Amino acid sequence: MSRITPNTGPASFLNTGRDASTTGSSPLSHGNKHQATEEFVCGLIHSDGCRVVANDRGIRSIRYHFSNRSEDIIGLFTVALDRLGIHWTPSTKYIVSVYRKADTARLDEFVGPKDRAVPWTNVHYTA
């Protein structure tokens, strides 16, 4: 797979050319795509990402970083961010970062700190 650049991620992972909602080929195609996409991004950040509160010359700013060695997983993550309208930057070959204030605020709406409970829908836990 070729190197991923901002906002040009591998759409082929999530869509085979026809509408993904009719083919069922996308992991994000079931139910509400927007909600599923938020839950997908939340799960990836909670497993392989972090939310950082930085102090840039006295100014508090929030950043999100996601790291994975698989280009396929990075591709799925960046396509999901694109679907949500969240701008991202490849920090390294294996790290994707979100820095813009509006975009980190958007991620805070459904991700937030890891100590916050994750409100997953359609997930059934068994004892």
Give the domain ranges of the chain: 48-112
To which H or E segment does residue 62 belong?
strand 59-67
Judge if pTM exceeds 0.85: no
CATH of domain 48-112: 3.10.28.10
Task: Name residues of the chain where pLDDT drops below 70.
Answer: 1-34, 114-127
For the chain, first and last CA: distance in Å?
Answer: 41
pLDDT for the residue numbered 15: 43
pLDDT for the residue numbered 33: 64
